[in-house]
Amino acid sequence: MTGAPSIVEDSTKPSAAFSLETILSNDHEAVEHPGTLSNGVSAVGWDEEGAATQAAEGYCVECEDQPAQLLCETCSDVYCEVCFAAQHRKGTRRQHESKPLPGQGKEKSTKSVPSDDATREDSMDIEEDGANESDDEEWKGIAPGPSSEMLGAQPAIGVKVGEWFVERAKYIPLRLTLIERKYLRLLEAALNVSEYTDKIDTIGFGLSKAKRIVQQIRELCAIMSGLLLAADYKQGQELFTDRDFESNAEFYQSIFELGRRHKIMNPDKMRTTYGKLIYLLQDSQSHDVKDLLNFSCVRPIKTVYSVLEEYHATDLLRDDLITAATKEIYSEGRSRRDIQRDIKSKERAIETLAARYEREGLSQEKLRQCLYSIGDNHAFLRANRDPCERMISYLKEYFHPTQAKNSKSSLAIRSGRDGARLSHDHGKQYAYVLQSLTLWREILHGKGAFSMSCLNRASDVVS
């Protein structure tokens, strides 16, 4: 009978040091610190890296998982575009010559172009030249950014703004302050534990629907009061002084308004709790519920215009300097020095306007909040509305409204094919796509959000 074959057939494998034979032996040192085996061949431990393997042919030598696109003539290595930019962004490697590999486009010799990160790093070594520039620099020195003919584009710097910002500010929610964000977290916590939507439609306890709604609204308000007491004892105590919901109506209205305002500015937030909040506010507008509750849960959204109008400071929105104070600063294709100069110019414009329109009850901090809110809205529109506008222009440029030039340019769909549930010819589908994109563009631009314009009119909110 022959002996059992050895578990370790090839001692050059990384697992050779952990064979059944070595584990059962008394040589614990060889197991805990695998080194050289008895046959003189070096073994690799479980926590040691194996020998470096060469990248497969045609792949980047750095990441080894992307197809090679560039050949560095100095290094004689092939890289993908990302790794080449990362490896040649500073030092002498920036001067290395490269050329595209065959099949990767036009073959022309180019010098490595430093990435945006490299530009930022190199510019950090330069002293702030902007500090030597005159503080009396003209506001129109701010770069206007990429030219755009988008719907309702804001006036250019140096151009009379007229009533543009006045109309726009009516639909721009005011940015939340730090204190308001704390209350927002309180609201979200209360909505998370509330069983409002579960209990309203459940018939029981001998209560009418209106009484069930009132009971659940009061329960939610009580939860918020308890959370506020736990977070801020002094302010929470004020809510519990007379235990009367009606006397604390202003507090509850402001909390509910914060949730709606936050959602308008951040459509991707409150995905689970916002629906519960809207159901509650809609139900609270029923006449029967109002009579039992003795106060309204809804109040208008606080906008930039409403704040300035309250203190008779709407002239701020007609000041030509507001364009520079709210302009979104672009970084694409620009040096750090130019960006820093624009940031300083924008901040100076904000401080100038804040000092110019400050008055009793309207502090400079509140004015800055209004200006930053307008800037937030510009960024929101660029990220959400402008893509719709570009898609509409592409649709009109590359597709005929009524008939397709060929099968590849046809928008026709047939039910059951590629997930389609309807059958539309090219012309009908073209009209459907155009209407959908136009609707979303108008929702995003026209009034900021459909929900805001609806909820602003409490009398129009029906259960």
pLDDT band (50, 70, 90) for residue 203: low
224/222 Cα distance (integer angstroms): 5
Segment 359-363 shows an average pLDDT of: 92
Q: Please, what is the end-to-end C-alpha distance for the chain in angstroms? A: 88
Angle at 38 between CA 37 and CA 41, to 5 degrees: 45
pLDDT at 311 over 50: yes
Question: Residue 88: helix, strand or coil by DSSP?
Answer: coil
Give pairs for 329-337: CB < 8 Å, separation 24+: 329/142, 329/143, 329/145, 330/143, 330/145, 330/146, 331/116, 332/146, 334/143, 335/119, 335/123, 336/119, 336/120, 336/123, 336/124, 337/123, 337/126, 337/129, 337/130
Mean pLDDT, range 171-177, rounded to an integer: 91
CB-side neighbour CA atoms (13 Å) of 297: 28
Per-residue pLDDT at 367 exceeds 80: yes
pLDDT band at 383 (very low <50, low <70, confident <90, very high): confident
Q: What is the pLDDT of residue 153?
A: 64
Q: What is the DSSP letter of 422?
A: S
The answer to pTM > 0.75 is no
pLDDT greater at residue 323 or residue 149 = 323
pLDDT confidence tier of residue 205, bands split at 50, 70 and 90: low
Confidence of residue 66 (pLDDT cuts 50, 70, 90): confident
The mean per-residue pLDDT over the stretch 375-403 comes to 90
Distance CA 264, CA 134 (A): 40
Q: Tell me which of 313 and 461 has the higher pLDDT.
A: 313
SS3 assignment for 286-304: CHHHHHHHCCCCCCCCCEH
Least reliable range by pLDDT among 37-51, 236-250, 316-330? 37-51
Q: For residue 202, what is the DSSP state?
A: -
- What are the distances in angstroms from CA 97 to CA 70, 88, 93, 109, 128? 10, 10, 9, 7, 32
Please tell me which residue, 231 or 210, carries the higher pLDDT value.
210
List strands edge to edge, sheet with 110-111: 77-79, 70-72, 97-100, 110-111
Q: Does the pLDDT of residue 166 top 70, yes or no? A: yes
Q: Quick check: 354 pLDDT over 60?
A: yes
Cα distance between residue 123 and residue 131, in whole Å: 14
Mean pLDDT for the stretch of residues 309-337: 89
More confident residue, 86 or 155: 86
Q: Is the pLDDT of residue 32 over 60?
A: no
Instruction: Tell me which residue of 388, 444, 386 sits closest to 267, measured CA to CA.
Output: 444
Pairing verdict, β 70-72 and 77-79 = antiparallel
